Amino acid sequence: MAQKHEDFWNRDNFLVVTDGTKPAVKWTIDELRKRGKVVIVLDYSDKPLADSVKEPESVPDTVENVVIGITKREPARIIEKLADKGITDFWVHWKTNTCDVDHLEYDPDLSIITGRCPMMYLGSSASIHGFHRFVAKAFGKY
């Protein structure tokens, strides 16, 4: 399972969906860009990033992978709208998963990773994220 989680971050383009409530999502955006990945942001926050899109319908057709870290909206509804655009690979941030997302995990056409913080995979070893990764590996939760 760890390989699937690690492989997700080796991809080249991402949509990151945020509402500003999960700081690790902002760090995820920054880290992906630092690694040279193409990152589009769908921002539902009160102060959206200047270069962000505002609705799923505005997401470019080139997006293949989505990271969702929102608490003010139902993430399953976002997944459904993006799946209608042909996107199939999703990462739902730790502690933002819902029962509706759990039901979507049974859809054989979708790949949805839940229960993990992106920064546990993206953060440097000399950070709180690296420590989180160490602890998760020690307890078999990586």
**Domain boundaries along the sequence of the chain:** 2-138
Examine the pLDDT at 133 and tell me if it is beyond 60.
no
CB-based contact 111:88 (threshold 8 Å) = yes
* Architecture of the domain spanning 2-138: 3-Layer(aba) Sandwich (3.40)
pLDDT at 96: 94
The span from the CA of 34 to the CA of 135, in Å, is 25
Q: Which residues pair with 16 in a beta bridge?
A: 41, 67
- Could you tell me how far CA 114 lies from the centroid of its own chain? 9
Residues of 44-80 as b/e, b for ≥16 C-beta within 10 angstroms? bbeebeeebbeebeebeeebebbbbbbeeeebbebbe
The span from the CA of 46 to the CA of 132, in Å, is 30
Furthest-apart CA pair in the chain: how many Å? Answer: 41
The span from the CA of 38 to the CA of 94, in Å, is 23
Q: Which residues contact 128 (CB under 8 A, 6 or more apart)?
A: none
**Predicted confidence (pLDDT) per residue in 16-60, tens digit:** 999 999 998 999 999 999 999 999 999 999 999 889 999 999 999
C-beta atoms surrounding 121 within 10 Å: 20
pLDDT at 131: 44
